[in-house]
Structure 1
């Protein structure tokens, strides 16, 4: 699937995900999102879903609070793709579309990874926020993790094993942040 995924990423998208300040939100993350979508839907993705997947983190500045809005603005002429991107801001459904469920699940797929891969993800996220002092980072990250853990479900699809592992990973990171 990786050769297929590489073939569909336009150079202007690759350039954005290769920005030097990125550690997790890189081309590797983009390929993981596309790979999950291709596993679930096959080699052809619906146009708006493909566009949203490609551009969902095109603008990524850890100091900004409007990355999703800026990314959505880049998909001129595709209002569905823009809405899908906006849903990644809080990872909450803005409508009942299956494409939205799939994109949100793919974007958070890392949460249910094996513990070692999850710890690497968490370390890369911390590297993206090196400008934030440790105490403030721990408090802010803990708040994000707590919000996820309070949800009845992290994934919208039928992934009970992944859901359980994601909750274990989030709880373990939360525990590490509090020590």
Structure 2
């Protein structure tokens, strides 16, 4: 489990095409400290497994399904990525519960700068819109954010300078894809309510 609090802005240093998968090598001095084979690291919100680790770099295999359903498929050498290790049991939950299971992708639609923050508008797939509510939580490229406005096919978030400086959202431009993970609690509630209604018939 992750919290959506990005630990560092890493970099893709190599991409190897494996046919039905890709192997990424990524640099991240913070997240590789003490890393072991089989550990999990979230890369732009996608939970990946460490295959190998050397120095401040690690490799991870990404299957075709993940490449298709997330924005990892557009990463190239030099791409910056948000990195986070799983939260430790008993640690503070600084963001919200993030599984590292991407529900879909959106696109940055617009950026509106202000003196001390920036509003970013992001497209929202129709099948995810019901899980995104104003003042609720959403994960964008692995970043735990609070929804400012929730529309039928978009939402907005307000980014403080720290988020702009230390995550990929400081560099994303209109048209760029982002990974989205909605609040897992909302999905469970929906499933439970649907089951209850079915049982009452």
**Structure number with larger C-alpha Rg:** 2
**Higher helix content, 1 or 2:** 1
